[in-house]
Amino acid sequence: MSHRVGSQEFWDELYRSHGSVWSGEPNESLVKEVSSLPAGTAFDVGCGEGADAIWLARRGWRVTAIDISGVALERAKKSAIQSGEEVAGRIEWVRADLTRSAPADASYDLVCSFFMHLPKAERDVLFRSLADLVAPGGSLLIVGHHPSDLDVPVNRPKAPDLFYTATEVAGLLGPGQWHVVVEAADPRPAKGRDGQRVTVHDAVLHALRISSNATLG
């Protein structure tokens, strides 16, 4: 049975059909942007099999990790336990669809989302809710596939509306309320559809909240 792309059933079926979907390594942009930050509280949206949340917890962060797929979260929990009781104890795993329900009223020192590709209207609502969760002095880190990847022979959906640039995300931030640390299209090597070596680009937006009433418009 096929399910609506992006639904809980779709993602559960995808994870069940693979021994593992992701590499098990943290996203390069997370390591690059967060390694120098002091540990605090983090909100990891679309955590998948948990590599980013576990990396953060190993560095002393207390993490709330969200995903729509219960199958992915079970794998993530097992990986965290294998990383040790101390690491596992720093992570709260939560199954939720943040496109249907707003996150709990809280604030975090880091709010991050990697490769959440939704239609623009849904995406803007999600990013608005994520920005609202960033504490003053905290970081918002949004990373996605850059629109230029549509021209590269890699496995990407042929749906331009799902892609975005860091500049588009930065343009949503309230003036005077955020300091943009990084607004870039970061190149990285990848494997093409036929196994060839290609270069893709990640849209990376890292912004520091400098106002207690910062919101996305």
**pLDDT at position 192 over 90:** no
Is the predicted pLDDT of residue 77 greater than 60, yes or no? yes
Helices (H) and strands (E) in the chain, counts: 7, 7
- When the pLDDT of each residue in the chain is averaged and rounded to a whole number, the result is 87
In this structure, are residues 113 and 142 in contact, taking their beta carbons and an 8 Å threshold? yes
pLDDT at 4 over 50: no
Alpha carbon 200 to its chain centroid, in Å, reads 17
| Helix ranges (DSSP H) in 89-188 | 120-132, 166-170
For residues 178 and 150, the answer to whether their CB atoms sit within 8 Å is no
Residue with the two structure tokens 């990383």: 83
- Label residue 15 by pLDDT band (50, 70, 90): low
Q: How confident is the model at residue 30 (pLDDT cuts 50, 70, 90)?
A: very high
What is d(CA 204, CA 144) in angstroms, rounded to the nearest whole number?
A: 7
Higher pLDDT, 32 or 5: 32
Residue 62's pLDDT band, with cuts at 50, 70 and 90, is very high
21 pLDDT tier (thresholds 50, 70, 90):
low
Please tell me which residue, 151 or 216, carries the higher pLDDT value: 151
Res. 175 pLDDT band, cuts 50 70 90:
confident
* Percent of the chain whose predicted confidence (pLDDT) is above 70: 85
**Model confidence at 215, in pLDDT bands (50, 70, 90)?**
very low
Residue 165 contacts residue 185 (beta carbons within 8 Å): yes
Q: CA 84 to CA 94: how far, in whole Å?
A: 19
Q: What is the pTM of this model?
A: 0.87
Q: What per-residue confidence (pLDDT) applies to 157?
A: 79
Q: Which amino acid is at 153?
A: P
What is the average per-residue pLDDT within 26-47? 96
Q: What CATH architecture does domain 8-209 belong to?
A: 3-Layer(aba) Sandwich (3.40)
pLDDT confidence of residue 18: 66
Indicate if the pLDDT at residue 6 is higher than 60.
no
Whether residue 17 has pLDDT greater than 80: no
Which pLDDT tens digit goes with each residue over 85-136?
999 999 999 998 887 776 667 899 999 999 988 899 999 989 988 988 999 9
Spatial CA neighbour of 122 closest among 58, 68, 71 = 68
